[in-house]
A and B are shown apart, each in its own frame.
Chain A
């Protein structure tokens, strides 16, 4: 099974500053036939279900603010929030869908400094 590891486990960033969350997979999730990375990012606020932010490692879901961006390829990926807003306080998860079972990272808790 593919194991997803996020870093850091928690992060405190000042309002308006950049937040960066990393995700590493135990094997490549780049599918060579279509050159796409099978990776998604989710945001989960307290008491709410997860919300899809990004798929194909860098494609924003409709309605997601453009301060959220995804990057990376192969085994190393990054979620960046360019200018942190108060409503971005949440736990963020990466998920691979290259292989079954689909696997999530352990989550990164983002707070305001």
Chain B
């Protein structure tokens, strides 16, 4: 069974840092692009960042560029999101999401066929 499990959410002060982890199982992790998608309380979904499977190309939303860093360790089947200079507006549930793995011409990020349960990040003093 394909599973994603996020860790690391916490209460952090504005300007602080946090690292999220996403542990994957049930599929060949290195073969799939992965993303982080967040959802502020009571709000909709916002794509945050993506990383390709084997050559580790990275992509970011403008709202987090320069502050967040996505990475992965294929030997540990784990993806990470290092979040620095956190702001109140970064408060959200952060989901780890797996891309489809299908050949999608001209698309950098395609659809998400598996999601984790999410981890809550609260930025507040």
* B44 interfacial by beta-carbon distance below 8 Å: yes
With A33-B105, A34-B105, A49-B117 in contact, is A97–B45 under 8 Å at CB? no
- Closest Cβ–Cβ distance, residue A99 to chain B (whole Å): 8
Residue on B nearest A105 in the bound complex, by CB: B44
Interchain CA distance A48-B119 in the complex, whole Å? 12
Chain B contact-residue range equals 20 to 34
Indicate if the CB atoms of A49 and B95 lie closer than 8 Å.
Answer: yes
With A31-B105, A100-B109 in contact, is A49–B44 under 8 Å at CB? no
Closest 4 CB pairs of A and B: A49-B115, A40-B111, A104-B45, A55-B111
Indicate if the CB atoms of A93 and B45 lie closer than 8 Å.
Answer: yes
With A38-B107, A93-B45 in contact, is A52–B59 under 8 Å at CB? no
Task: Give how many A residues have a beta carbon under 8 Å from the other chain's beta carbons.
Answer: 25
Which residues in B have some Cβ–Cβ distance to A below 8 Å? 44-47, 59, 61-62, 95, 100, 104-118
- For the residues of A in contact with B, the DSSP-based class is loop
Interface string of A58-100 (1 = CB under 8 A from B): 0001000000000000000000000000000000010101101
Interface string of A11-55 (1 = CB under 8 A from B): 000000000000000000001011000101010000011111001
22 contacts between A and B (CB under 8 A): A33-B105, A33-B106, A38-B107, A40-B111, A40-B112, A42-B112, A49-B95, A49-B117, A50-B95, A52-B112, A52-B114, A95-B45, A95-B112, A97-B109, A97-B110, A100-B59, A101-B62, A102-B47, A102-B110, A103-B47, A104-B45, A104-B46
With A49-B117, A49-B118, A100-B59 in contact, is A107–B44 under 8 Å at CB? yes
Indicate if the CB atoms of A106 and B113 lie closer than 8 Å.
Answer: no
